[in-house]
Amino acid sequence: MDTLFLARLQFAATTSIHFLFVAVTLGLVTLLVGLQTAGFVTGKPVYERLTRFWGQLYVINYALGIATGLVMEFQFGLNWSGLARYVGNVFGAPLAIETLVAFFLESTLLGMWIFGWHRLRRGVHLALLWGVALTAYASAYWVLVGNAWLQHPVGYELRDGVAHLTDFTALLTNPTLGFALGHVISASLVTGGLLMAAVSAWHLLRRTPDFLLFRTSLRLGLLTAGVAVVFLLGFGFAQFGPVGQLQPTKFGGGPDRDALVAGWVTRFGPGDYTPPTLSDVGLGFMILIGFGLFLGLLLLPLLWRDQIIRLRFPLWLVLLALPLPFVAVLLGWIAREVGRQPWAAYGLLPVERAVSPVGPGVMLASLIGFALLLGALAVTNWTLIARHAARGAADPALGRPPAPETDTRPHSVFA
């Protein structure tokens, strides 16, 4: 088998699985901030119970998501040494910042939040969660800074056949960055909101005794997803203009594309510089799902007087719609990444020059090992989330008050 094909297949599998964790993490942490802030302001116990319940699901997803991210990082050195050698001086800078600042700081703050229940003042504990959310957004930002550079290399110069960073500000103002970041954040909020609404709908369909609790989370989830889907479509369609200008090969033909391809043929030699059809297919189905989720806004008026719960049928629609944002997230990532092929860095580094010089047997073994490990982590994640979500919010382990001392007998200092 072809080494390049196996390397691309492995990259697609690992990044796609990891991105599903990212979408849930960004969406849920935002909702958690809203819940705990509401509890801090109002003092109502319902918000603390919801924070503990959804916080437990968030922690599960975050912990296993870290594992998928670490596994994914290894492939840059294993499979794409050409990419690291040629553009690592530029591409590595935002990834290093993401790892050193956002990732480690986020993990530290989250650990303090997890173990700070009933030990820290309520305001301090809430501030920790705000810090977790802000660093999570910072992490997404720096990852997209690096990805935007691969989509449209800026702020560099070539010296001795290697790209060197010359303008750090250009990285932060890359025209492919802003709308993409808004699109990813909106997609994560839709994913997290619909996940919250679907779990709540399932408990309400089972006529849970915690009716008021899951009624609150159902409304919050649907309202969040409803507002976010409007921004999702807006940021998505707003990308067509700048991306079409900077990547003329992504969305079809035209004189700009023909002139660009002619220049590539002169510089890199003859070849197929048209992205695979998979990019257009992914983009088309993603847009269809986006409009389908947009129609979900019709459910929001049913929140009035709890008609959505009394009719019950809309709850089934919410439950059945849960896979849609996850499918859309994968399709969107495919459209963005496959659409820049055959380039590792658009117009600068072809993928065949970015792949590591290893044999197909080694690459196949790497693909099988990574796929099995990532698949096991994904299955474990969703199994644990489903199990803890099904238990309900009666008494989640996260944030449980310390057990009172049961042995009241006096103890001798010599015992």
Average pLDDT, rounded, for the chain: 89
What is the pLDDT, as a whole number, of residue 113? Answer: 96
What is the rounded distance in angstroms from the CA atom of residue 243 to the CA atom of residue 264?
18
DSSP per-residue string spanning 104-164: HHHHHHHHHHHHTTTTS-HHHHHHHHHHHHHHHHHHHHHHHHHHHHHHS--SEEEETTEEE
Mean pLDDT across the stretch 370-390? 91
- Find out whether 126 and 42 touch, Cβ atoms under 8 Å: no
Mean pLDDT across the stretch 106-111? 92
Q: What is the dihedral of CA 146, 150, 154, 158, to 10 degrees?
A: 110
pLDDT surpassing 90 at residue 340:
no
Pick from 199, 215, 222, 144: which is nearest to 176 by CA?
A: 144
Higher pLDDT, 403 or 8: 8
What is the pLDDT, as a whole number, of residue 415? Answer: 41
Please report, for the chain, the start and end positions of each structural domain, with discontinuous segments joined by +: 3-391
Most confident of 122-131, 206-215, 252-261, 280-289: 122-131
Q: How confident is the model at residue 406 (pLDDT cuts 50, 70, 90)?
A: low
Mean pLDDT across the stretch 126-132? 96
pTM comes to 0.92
Quickly tell me which residue has 């939040």 as its tokens: 113
- Find out whether 372 and 91 touch, Cβ atoms under 8 Å: no
| Residue range 305-329, pLDDT digits in tens | 889 999 999 999 999 999 999 999 9
The alpha carbons of the chain give a radius of gyration, in whole angstroms, of 24
Q: Any alpha helices (H) in 43-80, and if so which ranges?
A: 45-79
Q: How confident is the model at residue 175 (pLDDT cuts 50, 70, 90)?
A: very high
pLDDT surpassing 50 at residue 414:
no
What is the rounded distance in angstroms from the CA atom of residue 375 to the CA atom of residue 354?
26
